[in-house]
A and B are shown apart, each in its own frame.
Chain A
């Protein structure tokens, strides 16, 4: 049984690999897109830095974070934004379109996991620019920090980052699954996009009720603040463990919602 399980996972990986390759091949045709991505990145980073400079011209710390520490948060925010725009958003957009146009039928008649298929079909490689720019910001911030960052902190950061990607993906799919019931969920997605902007600041700067909301309702805390905390030595092992538990729970809920959504789509629950 264990053998077939590994076999399945391997097959899934190969599937994702093929999809990724095809996606990259095709995006490479649109060379002008790289210019737009660079421009978009530049504007986003420029505004962020300007706001940061403005804030720190008045104060030395914000919610207990120094300027360079906040630069880490900002870097993670840009990086995660790149992940969202390159993989998560295009796939979820396509899923919404498929539900609306009835082309989801083609996905559901394929002998592969439906959730995997709808999550790996699109890959906008030029948006990866943001991932690189975000990573560069993080590196710059770490160099400027007044204390050394140990390998353990880096490892914790990478783990937290990975968990953050899974959290954002799960959350976004959860929103998109609503499309099975209410066909137009674009507005919800726009709303999320707006709220994502709030993630450029650590959640601790927000008042209590908002902090709770950004942690558990729209999980920006786990996606952005926790990785930054891990890198700046604020996260304990317990926090990371908690983040892992939250990620696993959210993923499980999303998986369940996906199945319920499919049953609804095929009229099994009606």
Chain B
């Protein structure tokens, strides 16, 4: 198979993937603990329950879900750390759970809450260890390392012992260490967790630039919607181990929040506009926010413009955080009386 036809294949292909964990179960309390020593009761928990999706080469996909939705289990199966119970996974044409070196050389895993850099030594030395592990030729190693150090702006930091770095600095060094071998698929599990806004922004910008330069595919989980908005053209939302939504971020908003907010400014002051939609907010200076179904938004706006003297009118999507919160909460938005 030549390189051209290979690139047509998805970088990641997942079909009906399942993972069931067997967990010991016991009630709280000492008596129950002692009973548990003698006879354990087990319960099967389906962490991933039939997930299918593709990620194209060069695509950046956001993986969204509440805590315990199965995101990390998915990433672990994709990176070969967990053996699937059933289903099919293929990453760059490899079956991850076989952990072939050829496969491992082409991927990377970054976990925001765990360190791979050694605590007591400068990051540069950990880089050196990764060079040996990935067998990166010297010239290539130096070029990549210098490029990453420059892009992440960590030139002065990589010489200090990792324990002396701030959380944000450490994460940047972690990311550099994970990319020295120029992987083609990046699995990033909460790469910006706990970081301040500036550090989050820097890492976000770096990842976008890295994706642009190398054409690597990125699968990212994050609790920060800003990460997802800045990086991902597409999101896969999972809930209780199953795919709830797979598509564009914009379409997610229309799908899960079929409402928009119309804000009108009326020079004549407070007016009762409840006939047009649900009044969300009304201020004494004549500004009123209305929640209306997306499909009717333009018609309602036209009626407002026809019926009133309007000095200002905007139609907005609800903030993505609210949409996601609604998706995770599993409750559809309340119907608007019409």
Contacts and interface: CB of A to CB of B under 8 A. Distances in A.
Interface in B110-140: 111, 114-116, 118, 120-121, 125, 128-129, 131-135
Contact of A266 (B97, B111, B128): B97
Given A22-B128, A109-B107, A267 B114 contact: no
A109 B101 contact: no
Nearest to B99: A108
A125 B120 CA distance: 14
Contacts of A193: none
A11 interface: yes
Interface stretch (B5-13, B74-82, B219-227, B267-275): B74-82
B132 A109 contact: no
A112 B322 CA distance: 44
Interface string B5-37: 000000000000001011000000000000000
B133 A117 contact: yes
Contacts of A270: 21-22
Interface string B76-96: 100111110000000000000
Interface residues of B, number: 34
A102 interface: yes
Contact of B134 (A14, A111, A121): A111
A22 B118 CA distance: 11
B265 interface: no
A15 interface: yes
Given A105-B81, A267-B83, A14 B101 contact: no
B120 A26 contact: yes
A266 B83 contact: yes
B22 A109 contact: no
A268 B83 contact: yes
Contacts of A268: 83, 97
Given A22-B129, A103-B114, A117-B133, A108 B81 contact: yes
A105 B114 contact: yes
A19 B97 contact: no
Given A109-B109, A112-B101, A102 B114 contact: yes
Given A18-B132, A109-B107, A110-B104, A267 B115 contact: no
Q: What is the predominant secondary structure among interface residues of chain B facing chain A?
A: mixed
Contacts of A263: 83
B202 interface: no
B182 interface: no
A25 interface: yes
A17 B102 CA distance: 23
Nearest to B178: A106
Nearest to B126: A22
A266 B78 CA distance: 12
A32 interface: no
B287 interface: no
A106 B104 CA distance: 11
A26 B125 contact: yes
A111 B114 contact: no
Contacts of A108: 80-81, 99
17 contacts: A11-B135, A14-B132, A18-B129, A18-B131, A25-B121, A25-B125, A101-B114, A105-B114, A109-B79, A109-B109, A110-B133, A111-B104, A112-B133, A121-B118, A121-B129, A263-B83, A267-B83
Top 10 closest pairs, chain A to chain B, by CB: A268-B83, A18-B132, A111-B101, A106-B116, A111-B104, A26-B121, A111-B105, A22-B125, A15-B132, A109-B109
Given A101-B114, A109-B107, A111-B103, 4 more contacts: A102-B114, A105-B114, A106-B116, A109-B80
